[in-house]
Structure 1
Amino acid sequence: MRVHSGERPYNCKVCAKSFNQSSNLKTHMVIHNGERPYKCTNCGKSFNHSSTLKSHMIIHNAERPYKCTQCGKSFNRSSCLKTHMIIHNGEQPYMCTKCGKSFNRSSRLKTHMMIHNGEQPYICTNCGKSFKRSDNLKIHMRVHNNERPYKCIDCGKYFNQSSRLKIHMLIHSGERPYKCTICGKSFSRSSILKSHMTIHNGERQYKCTICGKSFNQSSNLKTHVTIHNGERPFTCTICGKSFIRSSHLKRHTIIHNGECPYECTSCGKSIKQSSSLKTHMLIHNGERPFTCTICGKSFVRSSHLKRHMIIHNGECPYDCTVCGKTFTQSSNLKTHMRIHNGERPYNCKVCGKSFNQSSNLKSHMVIHNDERPYKCTICEKSFNRSSTLKLHMTIHNGEQPHKCTICGKSFKWSDSLKIHMIVHNSELSN
């Protein structure tokens, strides 16, 4: 009769909660005293209710007696099946009274309400970070204790969250279930598809409060802000150079270890970066997707087209603060500055000689390995540099590209022209 009358004569002395049965009060008291009398014989985990232990045991015996009649998915609890059915009927009975958003679970509404009230009741005792949910705190604690309970059966890699393992498994299966309805491109994560869609709709909801520049991803805005504050948190332990992104540091370390993990399947060339390999493949298939609207010239990279456009507008925006020389590219200015500061970051591992450009080091290495990859098609003479082969070809074709501006005489070599100019200079001095 207490069910109908609403009578609850059994009161908890700790929190004052009332119950209609003494057994329910007894079960409730376990929450306050921390008692967990029901222990799993398989894994040793303890529970405060026998019903909770019973539900837990289903994990070990893999029993899933509750099956969805629509999609065939099975569950270990009737409550889980009931919650799952909401997906099929689209029901969202739990509505937020503040913003009107609806949810299919009361627990999700409860979690959502913390957005409005800013409550984060679960605090990490190690670092003080707060969380809205106890399960988020539990996952966070794995960062401190280095716990990674989820193992990939294909490669043996461990993860601290089952969701991350699930995403990782897509690498092995090659599955990309999230497809863009506009361009057809597929993705392994819904979040990546969401970010991709901003390309089509032009949405840039993340705005820099300093310069007003907008971005389609919060991570891009976060990286951008480091330009203003000068922060470079990722430092190379070998040379001390710092970077804005961890990916930039990772790419930089390849310079020190000489690693080239990406190999071209067409020519066997080894590349340091996957993006560089992708660009390199355009050489083999002849694709040049970036075209100049002025002269029609095509390029394999957008950066090459951007650099090319400077030819048409004559812009040289990068000035040397030492000698005033201007450059069309920031990279050319950076290389030029090494003349003034004497920096030579590229070292030969054989003889220790240093160079200010990686291309000079590459050319130098030919001396040590005696490699002569550039061969004359007429006399079959080989050279260690393409520039040397080009000069050699003038012997066969009779070309004399170096012309004296005073008398018009032509020469095959630039140094021959230089010697010739001495004749004119001596005439002028006399």
Structure 2
Amino acid sequence: MTARAVSHLKPEKEEDGSKQGFPGTHKCSVCCKEFRRPSKLKVHMRTHTGEKPYRCDRCDKSFRNISHRNVHMRSHTDERPYVCEVCNKRFKSLSHLKSHVKTHAGEKPHLCKICSKSFNQVGQLKNHMRTHTGDMYRCEECGRQFSALSHLERHMRTHTGEKPFKCEHCNATFSQFGNLKRHIRTHDQTGEKPYKCEECNSQFSQLSNLKVHMRTHTGEKPYRCEECSRQFSRLSNLKEHRLTHNGD
């Protein structure tokens, strides 16, 4: 039997480290998943007990797995050691890089059996499935629902006012890491503009500005006036236009 043939017999590895296809030696007493190593089973058991022993000393967020805590810590330092060889975009974790590389290949191997929408990460598919099952994460303050727990946690900061991301230059705090990253560039004396237009080589300090600029090439106008159906490439232009209808 060739090595290629043998590779097709390897058990599929789940996100939590369990294996399907070959029997494991360490079985979860709650859900019967099997693991090759007791350390993997120990980490898996925390999904049932809720135990999160690894705490971030910057924002007090806790994690079941020390590697997840270490990846999270990079959100405070902006360390991104994993680089895409195609576009040079940098990532905090190897798994994020691997998922990103699939976007260049157009690979989306995880298919929703209900609506046939496909995703490049199994986690994205799981979150999407909640839109079909109705098993959403609900905000107890306003009733808004989310398919991903991380989205709910981010939303909750609009109610609590929590701003866990702190600028080391001026101590300004932010509720989202992306806002902190944009703010840090205001301290940057080099005038860094890492986002480059492939059409005309214009460069921008923020990705959002590049996206707006790209509409000058594509002609896209995603903002439509509900009164007269006129369309605009920028939301600010639509807001200004609306004043012509209400007389303000």
| TM-score, with length taken from structure 2 | 0.72
Aligned to 1:245: 65
- Measured after TM superposition, the shift of residue 375 of structure 1 is 2.3
State how far apart, in whole Å, the 1-side matches of 2:39 and 2:83 are: 30
- Measured after TM superposition, the shift of residue 291 of structure 1 is 2.9
- Measured after TM superposition, the shift of residue 332 of structure 1 is 0.9
8 Å Cα contact 2:59/2:164 also seen in 1: no
Aligned to 1:216: 34
8 Å Cα contact 1:316/1:329 also seen in 2: no
Runs of 5+ unmatched residues, structure 2: 12-16
State how far apart, in whole Å, the 1-side matches of 2:81 and 2:211 are: 32
Does residue 231 of structure 1 match 2:51? yes
8 Å Cα contact 1:198/1:204 also seen in 2: no
Q: Using CA pairs below 8 Å that are at least 6 residues apart, which structure has the higher relative contact order?
A: 2
8 Å Cα contact 2:18/2:34 also seen in 1: no
RMSD between aligned residues: 3.8
State how far apart, in whole Å, the 2-side matches of 1:302 and 1:227 are: 18
Deviation digits for residues 136-169 of structure 1 (CA, Å, limit 9, x no counterpart): xxxxxxxxxxxxxxxxxxxxxxxxxxxxxxxxxx
Aligned to 1:364: 183
Does residue 301 of structure 1 match 2:121? yes
Aligned to 1:325: 144
Task: Pick one of 354, 377, 385 that aligns with 2:199.
Answer: 377
Aligned to 1:352: 171
Deviation digits for residues 165-202 of structure 1 (CA, Å, limit 9, x no counterpart): xxxxxxxxxxxxxxx9573659xxxxxxxxx9952146
Runs of 5+ unmatched residues, structure 1: 1-179, 187-195
Q: State the AA in 2 paired with 1:213.
A: C
Task: Pick one of 2, 5, 8 that aligns with 1:183.
Answer: 8
> In structure 2, do the counterparts of structure 1 residues 228 and 288 end up closer, same or farther at CA, with 3 Å as the change threshold?
closer
Q: State the AA in 2 paired with 1:308.
A: H
> In structure 2, do the counterparts of structure 1 residues 350 and 203 end up closer, same or farther at CA, with 3 Å as the change threshold?
same
Alignment of 1:273-292 (within 5 A): 273-292=93-112
> In structure 2, do the counterparts of structure 1 residues 376 and 244 end up closer, same or farther at CA, with 3 Å as the change threshold?
closer
8 Å Cα contact 1:376/1:393 also seen in 2: no
8 Å Cα contact 2:130/2:147 also seen in 1: yes
State how far apart, in whole Å, the 1-side matches of 2:221 and 2:88 are: 37
> In structure 2, do the counterparts of structure 1 residues 353 and 316 end up closer, same or farther at CA, with 3 Å as the change threshold?
farther
Which is higher, the Rg of structure 1 or of structure 2?
A: 1
Task: Pick one of 130, 134, 138 that aligns with 1:315.
Answer: 134
> In structure 2, do the counterparts of structure 1 residues 294 and 341 end up closer, same or farther at CA, with 3 Å as the change threshold?
same
Deviation digits for residues 71-111 of structure 1 (CA, Å, limit 9, x no counterpart): xxxxxxxxxxxxxxxxxxxxxxxxxxxxxxxxxxxxxxxxx
Higher-helix-fraction structure = 1
Q: Secondary structure at the match of 1:214?
A: coil
- Measured after TM superposition, the shift of residue 302 of structure 1 is 1.1
- Measured after TM superposition, the shift of residue 398 of structure 1 is 5.4
Percentage of pairs with the same residue:
36
> In structure 2, do the counterparts of structure 1 residues 238 and 264 end up closer, same or farther at CA, with 3 Å as the change threshold?
same
- Measured after TM superposition, the shift of residue 215 of structure 1 is 1.9
- Measured after TM superposition, the shift of residue 265 of structure 1 is 4.5
8 Å Cα contact 1:234/1:243 also seen in 2: yes
